């Protein structure tokens, strides 16, 4: 038994798609979430900067006595994880492998769409793993730099002309390739899953990396014998690097619970 919290981080709200599933799958686990909202988006930055930010995020989380880290950010998982994971002595899980495993399981026509941030798409990390797992797969990818800022600004609803225009613009070439599976390679994108799903149509399965990662975390805790005690009441805390209010409202809405008293602000400069 190990009741220490799990540390989860993203550049902003996107990692909550992992938190939501973690709460559902692992209701006894404490979670400390960091959203680096002062520096979002990460996805257009250089690899060096993303690695630097990731190290600061992890330094903050490991200032608590945590037992594992979930990188609930496609950009950090694709661009920094390989470089930094060896430097920590607790398990670190990224979102790429869980998403790819799901995609290769569900695709029938082996035509897989992939969208993500510029850094994630340029890294080739998803493509490499898909082709390892399914060498016959055809992958059609697109970087979507405007989606994260739109989501962070609350432009997430069906009928919102800005998000609908951006989604159709980015996804048209992928849709034309008749994919049957679309990896939402950035954890922010499931927050606009309705809009993306409407555009892609019924025959396309959307894969949410954050949600897929929860099952991996469950296995990891079991394998390392570090699951929390059954039946205990879990605590969830949230940290942001910019305004508490905006994040609290959006997170409460998305997680369907009032988290307003549980959000604090942190300065990562000292980490």
94 lines the binding site for ligand DGL (CB under 6 A): no
Nearest to 236 by CA among 37, 90, 34, 89: 34
Q: Quick check: is 144 catalytic? A: no
**Whose Cβ is closer to ligand DGL: residue 210's or residue 226's?**
210
User: Least Å distance between CB 57 and ligand DGL?
Assistant: 12
Span from 8-16, 54-62, 160-168, 263-271 in contact with ligand DGL (CB under 6 A): 8-16
Whether the CB-CB separation of 7 and 15 falls below 8 Å is answered with no
98 lines the binding site for ligand DGL (CB under 6 A): no
Q: How many CB atoms lie within 10 A of CB 43?
A: 28
Strands 138-143 and 111-116: parallel
- Single out the residue of 16, 150, 163, 186 in contact with ligand DGL (rule: CB under 6 A): 186
Nearest-angstrom CA–CA distance, 72 and 249? 20
**Whose Cβ is closer to ligand DGL: residue 72's or residue 104's?**
72
- Single out the residue of 5, 7, 35, 41 in contact with ligand DGL (rule: CB under 6 A): 41
Catalytic residue among 73, 81, 103, 115: 73
Q: What is the largest CA-CA distance in the chain?
A: 50
- Single out the residue of 42, 126, 239, 247 in contact with ligand DGL (rule: CB under 6 A): 42
- Single out the residue of 6, 26, 40, 93 in contact with ligand DGL (rule: CB under 6 A): 40
Six-digit token string for 224: 């390392």
Six-digit token string for 11: 């550049």
Dihedral over Cα of 254, 206, 171, 82: its sign:
positive
Radius of gyration of the chain (CA): 18
Nearest-angstrom CA–CA distance, 133 and 222? 25
75 lines the binding site for ligand DGL (CB under 6 A): yes
Catalytic residue among 13, 76, 186, 217: 186
Span from 55-63, 72-80, 175-183, 252-260 in contact with ligand DGL (CB under 6 A): 72-80
43 lines the binding site for ligand DGL (CB under 6 A): yes
Catalytic (active-site) positions: 73, 186
């Amino acid at each position: 038994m190990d009741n220490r919290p799990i540390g989860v981080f993203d550049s902003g709200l996107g990692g909550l798609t992992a938190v939501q599933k973690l709460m559902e799958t692992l209701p006894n686990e404490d979670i400390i979430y960091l959203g680096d909202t002062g520096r979002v988006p990460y996805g257009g930055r250089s690899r060096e900067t993303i690695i630097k930010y990731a190290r600061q995020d992890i330094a903050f989380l490991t200032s608590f006595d945590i037992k594992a880290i979930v990188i609930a950010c496609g950009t950090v998982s694709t661009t920094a994880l390989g470089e930094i994971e060896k430097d920590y002595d607790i398990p670190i899980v990224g979102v790429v492998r869980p998403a790819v495993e799901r995609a290769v399981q569900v695709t029938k026509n082996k035509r897989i769409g992939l969208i993500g941030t510029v850094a994630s798409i340029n890294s080739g990390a998803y493509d490499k793993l898909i082709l390892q797992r399914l060498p016959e797969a055809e992958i059609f990818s697109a970087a979507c730099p405007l989606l994260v800022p739109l989501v962070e600004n609350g432009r997430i609803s069906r009928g919102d002309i800005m998000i609908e225009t951006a989604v159709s613009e980015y996804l048209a070439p992928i849709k034309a390739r008749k994919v049957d599976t679309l990896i939402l390679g950035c954890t922010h994108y499931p927050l606009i899953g309705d809009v993306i799903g409407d555009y892609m149509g019924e025959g396309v399965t959307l894969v949410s990396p954050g949600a897929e990662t929860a099952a991996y975390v469950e296995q990891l805790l079991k394998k390392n014998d570090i699951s929390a005690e059954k039946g205990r009441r879990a605590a969830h805390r949230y940290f942001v690097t910019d305004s508490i209010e905006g994040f609290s409202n959006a997170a409460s809405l998305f997680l369907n619970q009032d988290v307003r008293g549980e959000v604090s602000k942190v300065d990562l400069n000292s980490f």
